[in-house]
Amino acid sequence: MTRGRFITLEGGEGAGKTTQSVLLADALTAHGVGALRTREPGGSPGAEVLRGLLLGGSIDWSPRAETLLHFAARAEHVAETVDPALAAGTWVICDRFFDSTLAYQGYGQGADRSFIASLIGLLGIAPDLTLVLDVPESVAAERMRKRGGDADRYERLDSAFHARVRQGFRDIALSEPDRCVLLDASADIQAVHTAIMTAVWTRFGQ
């Protein structure tokens, strides 16, 4: 059994990660590639419990505790969902992964980035390809306004926080060009999808 490919989508709120993960999974399925869509924080029963504490809870966690909660959820998600699917030959499309912890907790909230980098190294798994969706904050804000719904703990933070997160994702993409592709996600949905499919087939050569 050939191990599946592990693809993550990253970027700030409103960048289009969820929209594009659906289109990518559907395109892979249409191509005859079995694909599982999942997301973080969450993606397995235990990790979803931690998601509730991180996104909905009223506790203002200290930066290291918040980082560790994200990694606890991630370890559970990898063990219960991601690894079994990859081992079965399924491609895994994951909406956010460890780059979000570096961007939000590290760049955004000031948690020690070397602490986060150590945890990334200890995790034992890295994506085969990471698609970093980049949009100006004004575009993201307009999309979030149109989408509506209640804001989570991170969405409620100020524009300086979101600017640091965006810069974090850009830095990550540029510092790891073998794994990451930085995409202009301000184009329309179909154009972004086409760019994603080009990146996927360029990387995996099918």
Ligand X SMILES: Nc1ncnc2c1ncn2[C@@H]1O[C@H](COP(=O)(O)OP(=O)(O)OP(=O)(O)O)[C@@H](O)[C@H]1O
* 13 makes contact with ligand X (CB under 6 A): yes
Q: How many residues bind ligand X (CB under 6 A)?
A: 14
192 binds ligand X (CB under 6 A): yes
41 lines the binding site for ligand X (CB under 6 A)? no
Residue 143 in the binding site for ligand X (CB under 6 A): yes
CB of 193 vs ligand X, minimal distance in Å: 9
CA distance 158 to 72: 26
State the nearest-atom distance from the C-beta of 126 to ligand X, in Å: 21
Whether 93 and 191 have beta carbons less than 8 Å apart is answered as no
Considering the complex, state which of residue 22 and residue 72 has its C-beta at the smaller distance from ligand X. Answer: 22
DSSP-assigned letter for residue 81 = I
**C-beta of 22 vs 53, nearer to ligand X:** 22
Least separation in angstroms between residue 183's CB and ligand X is: 10
**162 scored as a contact of ligand X (CB under 6 A):** no
Q: Using CB distances below 5 to 8 A depending on partner kind, what does residue 129 bind out of ligand X, Mg ion, none?
A: none
Under the rule (CB under 5 A), what is the footprint of Mg ion?
A: 17-18
Do 1 and 89 contact (CB within 8 A), yes or no?
Answer: yes
How many CA atoms lie within 13 Å of 174's alpha carbon, on the beta-carbon side?
A: 7
Q: How far is the CB of 96 from Mg ion (least distance, A)?
A: 8
CA-to-CA distance for 50 and 69, rounded, in angstroms?
7
Q: Exactly one of 4, 16, 41, 43 binds ligand X (CB under 6 A); which one?
A: 16
Binding of ligand X at residue 178 (CB under 6 A)? Answer: no
CA–CA distance, 147 with 24 (Å, rounded to integer): 21
Nearest partner of 40 among 122, 114, 123, 111, judged by Cα: 123
Q: The tokens 């924080």 sit on which residue?
A: 41
- Cα separation, 190 vs 206, whole angstroms: 20
Which tokens belong to 124? Answer: 């034992």
Interface residue list for ligand X (CB under 6 A):
11, 13-19, 143, 146-147, 188-189, 192
